[in-house]
Amino acid sequence: MRWAVLAMLFISGGAAGAEGSGGAAVAPQARAEAPKPPTKIYRYLSGGTVSFSDRPPGHDRYVILTYGCYACNPTSTIDWRATRLYRDAFADEIDHAARQFNIDPALVRAVIHAESGFNAQARSPKGAVGLMQLMPATARRLGVANARVPRENIRGGVQYLAGLLARFRNDVVLATAAYNAGPEAVQKYAGVPPYAETQVYVQRVRILHRRYQGLP
């Protein structure tokens, strides 16, 4: 008797406090290439050891893990210290929102890069939308009329990020962890939650932040 797939887990982060994020493959005009669709990772037992692969194993006893957030896949092979940066994409919108909420624009760029890969049409399996991956409820709370409009999405995402920075006393690590996992999770664990997705997300945002700060 063949085994059925055990479960499908959508593991994702986003500006709505771990309510979801991710990317679609439709590129906006402001960028030359779109991020890859969410990566499927197959988790299975091999000789009593948990193993992971980007290809299905030769049997049906596995779990599919789908990482929606562009930078959330713990097994990503992207070189985050060398991957292309988007210096000019949505520059006016980012700079305006960063000034409005007194945030480093390099951090905004890093979060956008990590959330959607600068894909304005990105949509996660759970419904998070746009560059900064706003969930509908969060967008409404922030007064975002249309989260698909880059200016509105960025303004809402930056406002949300500014609130997290204020809550965690300008600790960028904790604020970005909260952006992915939710502020309650950060509060619960008094630090970065022990979730593989959140831990790699925070690391990659830090790398991207430093690289965007170093741009001329």
115 has catalytic annotation:
yes
The three-point CA angle 143-146-152 to 5° equals 65
Rg (CA), the chain: 17
Measure the CA–CA gap between 23 and 10, rounded to whole angstroms. Answer: 13
Q: Which of 115, 152, 184, 197 is catalytic?
A: 115
Helix count (H) and strand count (E) of the chain? 7, 4
Measure the CA–CA gap between 32 and 60, rounded to whole angstroms. Answer: 38
Spell out the SS3 assignment of 73-106: CCCCCCCCCCCCCCCCCCHHHHHHHHHHCCCCHH
Beta bridge partners of 10: 66
Give the pair of three-digit tokens for residue 69.
């957030």
Residues carrying an active site annotation: 115
